Amino acid sequence: MAEQRTGAGDTRSEILDVAERLVQRRGFNDMSYADIAAEMGITKAALHYHFPGKAELGESLVTRYAARFQDALRVIAADQADAARQLEAYCAIYVSVLRDKRLCLCGMLAAEYNTLPLSMREAVANFFEENEKWLVDLLSRGRSAGTLTFNDSPEQAARMIVAALEGAMLVSRPYGNTSVIDSVAGQLVSELVPRTGRRRQ
């Protein structure tokens, strides 16, 4: 029984891995159970065993992606000494995703927001809210410590950062490289980190 549960868990994770990659590259509406089944060499019935419907699969995708993103933010907070370095590391997450020829899962889903099941819409909205909340805390601490500077409220600045990075990922796509998001991420850091606090090259 234990081996069967492990196998089922592995299959479920593999389904999510394949589905996530397809959504990040093609979008949720353009991804079907047939696509996943063909890539994995299993039947669509096997997919329905783990995820009865596409809405359940989509919600699980967002939940897992959001949890991993939060894990990455915790690592940034633990590894980087000050707010300026944490901001750089945050921007680097987006650059690394695009370098893998993918887009942010929730950014892709946001483009299809009106056609998503309600449970997925709520999960996507929560992803962005949690990101902004983390950034608000970061920006507030950075401003107090003098390692970050900005004129707007932390809430406005946080929303600008998320919007700029998500938008840069989309605009980068036709170019087939990371030049646009590299430029945007660099500009964000340049505008928010005082010259005295910037990393020397």
- Angstrom distance (rounded) from CA 20 to CA 97: 12
Q: What ranges do the domains of the chain cover?
A: 55-197
Query: What pLDDT, on a 0 to 100 scale, did the predictor assign at position 2?
Result: 28
For 80-115, the pLDDT digits (tens) are: 889 999 999 999 999 999 999 999 999 999 999 999
- Which one of 1.10.357.10, 2.160.20.60, 3.30.70.260, 3.40.640.10 gives the CATH number of domain 55-197? 1.10.357.10
Query: What pLDDT, on a 0 to 100 scale, did the predictor assign at position 103?
Result: 94
Query: What pLDDT, on a 0 to 100 scale, did the predictor assign at position 195?
Result: 73
Query: What pLDDT, on a 0 to 100 scale, did the predictor assign at position 3?
Result: 30
Provide the phi-psi class of 146: left if phi over 0, else alpha when psi is between -120 and 50, else beta.
left
Residue 136: both structure tokens together = 């608000």
- Strands (DSSP E) found in the chain: none
Residue 110: both structure tokens together = 């946001």
Q: Which one, of 196, 191, 194, lies nearest residue 160 by Cα? A: 191
Q: What is the mean pLDDT of the chain?
A: 91
Query: What pLDDT, on a 0 to 100 scale, did the predictor assign at position 196?
Result: 63
What three-state secondary structure class fits 45?
helix
Q: Is the pLDDT of residue 147 over 50?
A: yes
Angle CA 102–120–63, to nearest 5: 65
Largest CA distance in the chain: 60
